[in-house]
Amino acid sequence: MQTEVNPSKLTPGHPEKSTLEGRNKILGVWFFLGGECVLFASLMGTYLGLRGSTAGGLSPQELFGFELVLVMTIILLVSSLTSVIGVLALQRLDYAKMQLWFGITVLLGLAFLACEIYEFVEYVHLGLGYTTSAFSSAFYTMVGFHGAHVLFGVGWIAALIFRATRIGIDETNAPKFYVASLYWHFIDVVWVFIFTIVYLMGMVG
């Protein structure tokens, strides 16, 4: 029964880079994130091109309120901070704090998802279905894809936390946590563009 740090090869500093496999994993995830940039760019470009095509339905200006978006932005920004503090704890091989901060990250991610589901339900009640207009399709696809990424991230980090209760921090585990936090920060990077370009510029018109 080991729930602490596995002392085999690790020293505080950069446990995530202690093996070649770990370093390759980090590089691989950066490649993946580079690809994700293009995925979100194509969705964002489509949205920007089609946001005026409301086909008589609701327009962005009529639809978006700032309160919920501000709350969601702050939730995601704080979760980005908690996950980086989790990585700091990982680098000090502080098992308990690492689990705590990644746990908070998961909870914040769930809170974000709850807000987004509430938002979409609200919009559908207002009469903006997925097929109402080119604008609505592009909007739901863009923001929904981001939400799906959040959902995946929540599942990923939760699985890592659960797994670490059995094995603690070791040289296999450390890069996994590090890489999951990179992914989580990237989700926040995408959201920064979404709240700026979709929501705020939608309100400006």
Partner 1 sequence: MVDSNLEKDVRQRTTIPASIKEEQQHRQTYKKLIVSFILMMVFTLCSFYAVLSESIPASFAAPFIVALAILQVILQLVIFMHLDDKGSGYQAIIISFGLIFALAVVACLLFLIWW
Task: Using CB under 8 A, list all residues that contact partner 1.
Answer: 5, 7, 10, 12, 14, 26-27, 30-31, 33-38, 40-42, 44-46, 48-50, 66, 70, 73-74, 77, 80-81, 84-85, 87-88, 92-93, 182, 185-186, 188-189, 192-193, 195-197, 200-201, 203-205
190 vs 184: CA distance, rounded Å: 10
Instruction: Find tokens 């939400």 and name the residue.
Output: 147
Residue 79 CB, nearest approach to partner 1 (Å): 11
Query: Which among 100, 45, 76 has a CA at the least distance from the CA of 150?
Result: 76
Of 6 and 124, the one with the shorter C-beta distance to partner 1 is 6
What number of H helices and E strands is found in the chain?
7, 0
By C-beta, is 3 or 42 nearer to partner 1?
42
Angle of helix 134-167 versus helix 173-193 axis, rounded to 10: 160
- Nearest approach in angstroms of CB 97 to partner 1 is 12
- Our CB check for partner 1 shows the closer of 162 and 193 to be 193
Encoded tokens for 118? 């509430």
Cβ at position 18, least distance to partner 1 in Å: 13
How far apart, in Å, do the first and last CA atoms of the chain sit?
Answer: 59
Greatest Cα pair distance, the chain, in angstroms, is 65
Shortest CB 44 distance to partner 1, Å = 6
Comparison of 72 and 154: residue with beta carbon closer to partner 1: 72
Return the ∠ at Cα 46 (arms to 149 and 155), rounded to 5°.
Answer: 5
**What crossing angle do the helices spanning 20-50 and 134-167 adopt, rounded to 10°?**
160
Find the shortest distance in angstroms from Cβ 88 to partner 1.
6
Which residue number, 110 or 201, has a Cβ lying nearer to partner 1?
Answer: 201
